Chain A
Amino acid sequence: MGKKKSAVYSVEVNGIKDIETVDEGDGKEKYRGLKNHSGHKKDHQKEELKKELDLDDHKLNTTELEDKYGTNIIRGLTSTRAAEILAQDGPNALSPPKETSEIIKFLKQMVGGFSILLWAGAVLCWIAYGIQFAQDNSVSMDNVYLGVVLALVVIFTGIFAYYQEAKSTNIIASFSKMIPRQALVIRDGEKKEIPAEQLVVGDIVEIKGGDQIPADIRILASHGCKVDNSSLTGESEPQSRSCDFTHENPLETKNIGFYSTTCLEGTATGMVINTGNRTIIGRIASLASGVGNEKTPIAIEIEHFVHIVAGVAVSIGVIFFIIAVSMKYPVLESVIFLIGIIVANVPEGLLAAVTVSLSLTAKRMAKKNCLVKNLEAVETLGSTSIICSDKTGTLTQNRMTVAHLWFDNQVYQADTSEDQKAQIFDQSSATWASLSKIVTLCNRAEFSPGQENVPIMKKIVVGDASETALLKFSEVIMGDVMERRNRNRKVAEIPFNSTNKFQLSIHETDDPNDKRFLLVMKGAPERILEKCSTIMINGQEQPLDESTAEAFQTAYMELGGLGERVLGFCHLYLPEDEFPDTYPFDAETMNFPTSGLCFVGLLSLIDPPRSTVPDAVTKCRSAGIKVIMVTGDHPITAKAIAKSVGIISANSETVEEMANRLNIPVEQVNKREAKAAVVSGMELKEMSTEQLDEILINHTEIVFARTSPQQKLIIVEGCQRQDAVVAVTGDGVNDSPALKKADIGIAMGIAGSDAAKMQQTWSLLDDNFASIVTGVEEGRLIFDNLKKTIAFTLTKNIAELCPFLIFIIAGIPLPIGTVTILFVDLGTDVIPSIALAYEKAETDIMNRKPRHKKRDRLVNQQLALYSYLHIGILQSLGAFLAYFTVYAEQGFKPAQLIFLRSEWEDDSINDLEDSYGQEWTRYQRKNLEWTGYTAFFVAIMVQQIADLIIRKTRRNSIFQQGLFRNKVIWVGIASQIIIALILSYGFGSITVLSFTTLRVQYWFVAVPYAIVIWVYDEFRKLFIRRYPGSWWDKNMYY
């Protein structure tokens, strides 16, 4: 553990990062990570990586390079040669990930999941017609129509889903669109701007601050060039580039600049050594696309559901085929029954409802800054059980902020919230006056001009992170820093450098009576303290003795222990006699004292957590989601942030802390008692798979610090071994394999690189962890609501199936026709089933465990049984009551109906006697049959209203949920009634649709059953709430 050593952490103001010191082997690690996880994927990728290791251009000197690439450093390539190479190597651009062609995407929509079932239904219908037609060519076309309708349903929902999909993909696409970049290249001895795509190996390019490096280049000359390699390595500290070969590893050496990284400052000239897909970034990107694409959980669930429905349909069909055959029905007729049963079981409208629900949620999420690449991924976040979050930007605000102050022997806390309105520490002390002066003056950062109306926190600042923090801090507290600086004119200055580790400036004072110069200094606290002989307490200078030095040490350790970057501040009024007005201060020779100063105070800086994050983490925890922090940052900082956002909760300890508290060696601590764990990349590297698994299982609160980005992949895989659904946030290209591997890759919107965005399923536009929690909630909600939608839709399948079965067994006139069934499935039931997508969450949505992806199915046994065998049967009974009522009141009493079928359907009997002795022609009977259909249809509709209302909740009472909170449900109910009214009264005379004008009272026959359904379900929910875990709960909760 390098912890002790680094407890006093991070002092550099202009911090040239301590990355090299911490992770010498980082580069190697990166390769290891890549190799391990690609090696078994594809051989050629392994080859590619080997080639990557072979890269030795950084070792060559310029002449060798010129030879190798056949170029001239001064004159560059000739245009003709360049064109040749371009033709040979292709353009310098990453080939986009293999896009599935639009046609394939469209066809996928046509044959995926449900569609198969519907196609099968349609084909069966046509086969049935074919069979019938072969027997008797005057047979009705009903089956053909049904088949056509089924086919149309698939095609339309397919088009719809494709359209939705395309729409959300386009949103993403628009983000990743890049403006064509230009590169300054020397060719034929002339500098020209050409599109970066036309760069070829051997080109000499010039880059300057702000440019994106257009290809992998070997630096030939550099002037203070610094690059941001964060998109490659995840480290955000700028790294200097020069022409010196500093490291064996091409990733570590300073003389290579990488494609797509940004040059922050300075200029450089380099030779292109790799272009397009052969660049390091290109290789990582292609590696990522090699990681297998996984099916989304919801796709798996829907597949499972289709299996269930198909299973039920086929088995009922076969059973009744056997029954029909044994009842001496002709085999061909039995086959048609079989097909009819299968078709009756297909929920035609569900496909559309699911698609609409998903896209509604996607839209809702987009409003909350979450973009979904694939509609099905909407749900995935809901089943997340582990979130691997990075720290910077996601959990934190991604900007340095003053967190604590120490002066007058006391630690004060500063407001680190996003707007910093409430700075409540004691500002009356004279020490503060001095400190604030130093903070203001000893600072080179400045606001960019022209931002008068921008809130301070949002103003753009020229300067590094720490100085920016200090500038904004003093601007907030004292206002108009620039003016104060003007009043205290700067006469000399020594900027920060890593040898001095301090920054110093000398100012005139704004007090006209005071002709002394003020020397202000800030820097690493221990360095500053060395230079001080006095300390200011309550405005008074006091000699720096043992006890004050100790107090300083304690404060320094305390703040450092919080993972904060601590800065010391001191000043000195230069005596007027020695340093008169005209004294020529010289920063080079330092012709002024730099010791014996007066120590004023400490300020500590941190990238503070976003204020919404702790709440979000708590929510995750209560939702049973493990939040793991994976960061490249230092363990102490990581831990401090983890503690402050609650990833490590206040009362839990790491193994080391327990050992400390109990005063026993680390080995003796029972590891299971420690809830928290902080694991560094170094430790992770040494770990075996089993050890990693052990950590992931035993600790609930884990922080991985100093991890190389490629270790993320190892962590993700570790989590997935625990059967967890893992969400990973990431932005850099380096993250893309992990993002791809994860069940849900969450690309952070603003900072995310394009390569990362290609791999993700999700985009957060605001980089905010809290948005993930919103996503989780929405994902769970859609899962619940899909459950409700499916339960609602499945229920009436029984009411549509039973008539057919009874028709076969008891030979009654057919209670409901296939066309009428279609009007339920695709008419009255469509809007209500979509309306359930608008249903608000039940109270427990964020208080239960994430669903187990193998055990908690979308459609489980309970849902199927309850829908089919409880509510479905109730509905059938209600509908049959309506059917019998119609027939009995028109003359056919129930007893008469049994086994009437063959006479009823006989066209040559036109004087069929009813229970009253009246005689009916075939057409009159048919009309009555249609009235029966209509009554049956209306009865189903009425009971589906009850079904819709009960499906609003699965556990809570309807009255807890509120009948009227979801207005769309009422739109749905209205639509059901209106469609039924139109069908019955508007189309009563159109015989094709087989609807008749129904007597008013028949609309109400099924109402008592609707009430029974509601009451029964209320009792079900009541017992579930009252007796959790009971037999009832286990069998009745779906």
Chain B
Amino acid sequence: MKRVKGDEDACSSSSEGPTESCKKVRKLQPSKEKHQEEEEETDVDLCEFGFDWALLPQEILLNIFQFLPLLDRAYASQVCRGWNQAFHMPELWRCFEFELNQPASSYLKATHPDLIKQIIKRHSNHLQYVSFKVDSSTESAEAACDILSQLVNCSLKTLGLISTARPSFMELPKSHFISALTVVFVNSKSLSSLKIDDTPVDDPSLKVLVANNSDTLRMLKMSSCPHVSPAGILCVADQCHGLRELALNYHLLSDELLLALSSEKHVHLEHLRIDVVSENPGQHFHTIRKSSWDAMLRHSPKFNLVMYFFLYEDEFGPFFREEVPITHLYFGRSVSKDVLGRVGLHCPRLVELVVCANGLRPLDEELIRIAKRCTQLSAIGLGECEVSCSAFVEFVKMCGRRLSQLSIMEEVLIPDHKYNLDEIHWEVSKHLGRVWFPDMMPTW
């Protein structure tokens, strides 16, 4: 139960010798608690009897080990042969997160190289759920690829390549990365989820993925993978009929892709995430036909469409002109009143809305329109925007208790003749049915 206490016990028992540790075993069994003299006797008996932690059945040991962090398991494995065997039980090695950091580029600890070696040697065939967390250095990304390319006799179910600081996989020679990744694709045969955002994955490697894992692939996250083309992702959608979650950038989104995902053979899509990022100012974006979205919605009526926009205000031209089945909408940069007005008109399925910034004019009518037409809306966050207090109260009143998350920076709310800032928190709390405050930033 108590880890700290447990550690003390472990430490002291090693120094106190066998009798002492037996006493502790006794104390762990309250049902047999007796008078002290008797206890002493039994202790001796137990020791003579040869009671041994090592005799703990493997299942129980496994159960305990599963609750221990790796470092503690490693310490425990040095106690006796039995525990050492338990340390290597395959069940404990199905899942592993490699943390690859260099002292020069990260504050965090890295997985010890010896441990990595041991895993590759003894446990690579047990690994099923693997992720790599890689800091901003190219060395770390390389190290991840080296490990990947040694995973030849394993069958992974999930693989995640996560850049924790900068997208360091992008700095690797593409061929090096691809060859490491395809080792996993070829050997796994049953990959179910794959998270490879910000990597140099390309069309041919996706073909290898599809050729080996098309029956099992359920999730693919590949936002900001510049070497993939719309045709490359279309090939995945065409053949991986079990795909239920997909994350990619807008330039890969096409009418064909949506139609492929809504073909009869295809399971219902649950989650589609699109990042719309402007690479150079004034970029022009293509449009998606309403009929394609309609097809998607007919096929997967419950799917989440999550869109992250990081655009300049003047790049929104093609968006929100017709109805889109967006459920979660995030505007990372400034977005105009006009676009937010269009959101209110064309996003009837909207559930969550985040507006990081907007111009200097209050968003009063836009919010009220959204409250009126987006009847599923349950979460909203506003950063550098302005809303008059009365319009905000009206908005909350219209949405009522379905607003489970309401995160508004204090500066957003502009006091008017009806409410000042002290009053608004009561008024809003009343309509929400719970205590609510605007988010604050320190004045320092």
A in complex with B: no
